[in-house]
Amino acid sequence: MENYFLGSIKLLPVVYGVTAGISFMVAGIIKGLFAAVSFRTARSRAENESEG
Partner 1 sequence: MQNVDLLYLFQGIATMVASEPTIAIARVVLIGLGILFVFLGAKETLEPLIMIPMGVGMASVNAGVLFLSATTMGTIFVDPMASDVTKLMDVLQINFLQPIYTFTFSNGLIACLVFMGIGVITDIGYMLISPFKSMVIAVCAELGTVLTFPIAVAMGLNYKEAASIAMVGGADGPMVLYTSLMLAKDLFVPITIVAYLYLSLTYAGYPYLVRLLIPKSLRGIKMDLTKIPNVSKTEKIAFAIITNTILCLLFPVAAPLFMSFFVGVIIKEAEVTRVVEFLESTVLYGSTFFLGLLLGVLCEASTILNAKVLILLVLGITSLLISGIGGILGGYLMYFATGRKYNPVIGIAGVSCVPTTAKVAQKEAFAVNKRAMLIPYAMGANISGVITSAILAAIYVTLLR
Q: How far is the CB of 48 from partner 1 (least distance, A)?
A: 19
Size of site (CB under 8 A) for partner 1 = 25
Enumerate residues 1-40 that contact partner 1 by CB under 8 A: 4-5, 7-9, 11-12, 14-16, 18-20, 22-27, 29-31, 33-34, 37
Q: What DSSP assignment string belongs to 1-52?
A: -HHHHHHHHHHHHHHHHHHHHHHHHHHHHHHHHHHHHHHHHHHHHHHHHHH-
* CB 24, min distance to partner 1, A: 6
